[in-house]
Amino acid sequence: MASLKDKTIHGFFWSFIDNFAGQGINFIVGIILARLLTPKEFGLIGMITVFIAISGSFVNSGFSQALIRKKDCSETDYSTVFYFNLFVGLFFFGVLFIAA
């Protein structure tokens, strides 16, 4: 069984790789979009990205992380978090759809 130090280092390593890869992919996609789109279209994508990020922070409001940390989860807990995330996501989809 791995020690706490080994688990911490292993977790830090994979967290770093996850963040680094995500940022790298976003950077490359941004460069490609900047080359393919007009400045007006690229600005529109930038505005949409801001709204998606704000909506994502509301959808990822912490219920899923709390459910992971909870020791004794019931089916009610799982379904509550699932439906809450589903309805919040649909709400923000509707808001962004109407705003478009």
Q: Give tens-digit pLDDT for 48-97.
A: 888 888 877 877 777 778 888 888 888 888 898 889 888 888 888 898 78
pTM recorded for the entire structure = 0.56
* Residues 45 and 73 both lie in one domain: yes
Q: How many Å apart are CA 96 and CA 59, to the nearest integer?
A: 14
* Residues 25 and 67 both lie in one domain: no
Please say if the pLDDT value at position 1 is more than 70: no
* Residues 47 and 31 both lie in one domain: no
**Which regions of 9-60 does DSSP assign to beta strands (E)?**
none
Whether 85 and 59 have beta carbons less than 8 Å apart is answered as yes
Q: Per residue in 2-23, pLDDT tens?
A: 788 888 888 888 989 988 998 9
Q: How many Å apart are CA 6 and CA 10, to the nearest integer?
A: 6
Q: How many Å apart are CA 93 and CA 91, to the nearest integer?
A: 5
Domain region containing 75: 39-100
- Spatial CB neighbours of 52, under 8 Å, sequence gap ≥ 6: 96
* Residues 66 and 22 both lie in one domain: no
pLDDT of residue 32: 94
* Residues 58 and 11 both lie in one domain: no
Whether 87 and 58 have beta carbons less than 8 Å apart is answered as no
* Residues 14 and 49 both lie in one domain: no
Q: Please tell me the total count of domains within the chain.
A: 2
